Amino acid sequence: GLYCQNDMERAFRRGAVARASPKPTSPRPTRAFRRLAVAGAAQRHVDEAAAWTAEEAWRERRSWERVLSRRERRELEDATARILDSPLQLEEANSELDPRDWLSPQLLHDFQGIRRELLRGRGFALIRNVPVDLCKEQKAVVGLLLGRSFGQLRPQNKHGHLLGHVQDLGLNPMDPSVRIYATKAAQPPHTDSADIVGLLCCQPAIEGGLTSFASSVSIFRELEAECPRLATLLTQPFFVDRKGEVPEGQAPFYELAIYHRTPREGRMVCICDRSFITAAQRWDEVPRLTAEQELA
């Protein structure tokens, strides 16, 4: 898996993230959401493409599923071979790996169309026939090259890894410091903190391994219609655990609301991983979750 950053995340990080504080503060709407939520229905049109149901998505499958042709697949394979033969340092992929040096303008143009749909459309896409019957190093290059075609790569962890391997390392999923993707436990519904998250399936599982996804915008609208009080709670900060990846001088937890609107365009953003919120409850400085927060 890999994370990509674009202008949306940079704007969001400047205006919407509540910083960790040694003295927990009372819940309040984040600045970005509080400023833009008053627009009400006027803002809803910004999110229309991202508000879909499973039935709607399935009917429109041809619009979000892209199958690479044999020529395009070969293009990725040839680019991978040339990159590995070059002096390029993959650890510096953001500065040294420019897709324009390795892929054709037509393929990059198609990728940019997918990127627009990810950021300002329905929010997901499936690319099939990507070459993965390669050695481990070659597959890593394919992942990095695809990722850089959609934006700047973001570190996966405190070690600065640009690629993360989703595999069972035999760790205990009940340990609050463990990332669940390194265990055999099923991942609960969650989001990752990036504009675009890419998953490259290298080896289909013999059993399990299915990926499910949903529209966080549709979820919020349903909750807002059925119980506005709980929807409002999700626009207020929750305490989130860092799971051992603590920057110098920072607390082992921070505050972050689950739903925001971006400062520039007013697009709805959802960031939620319940396991990180639950893990933060181990700290004495963090207030206990209220019954309504649990329900929301």
Dump pLDDT digits (tens) for 248-269. 899 999 999 999 888 888 889 9
Higher-pLDDT residue of 223 and 181 is 223
Q: What was the pLDDT predicted at 169?
A: 87
Percent of the chain with pLDDT over 70: 85
Higher-pLDDT residue of 23 and 19 is 23
Higher-pLDDT residue of 258 and 29 is 258
Average pLDDT over residues 139-159: 91
Q: What was the pLDDT predicted at 2?
A: 64
Is pLDDT above 60 for 127?
A: yes
* Contact present, 221 and 246 (Cβ < 8 Å): no
Is pLDDT above 60 for 126?
A: yes
Residues 78-104: pLDDT tens digits? 999 999 999 988 888 888 899 999 999
Higher-pLDDT residue of 193 and 50 is 50
pLDDT band at residue 14 under the 50/70/90 scheme? very low
Q: What was the pLDDT predicted at 176?
A: 78
Is pLDDT above 80 for 139?
A: yes
Is pLDDT above 60 for 295?
A: yes
Question: Which of 155-159, 217-221, 260-264 shows the lowest mean pLDDT across its residues?
Answer: 155-159
Question: Which of 18-22, 198-202, 254-258, 263-267 shows the lowest mean pLDDT across its residues?
Answer: 18-22
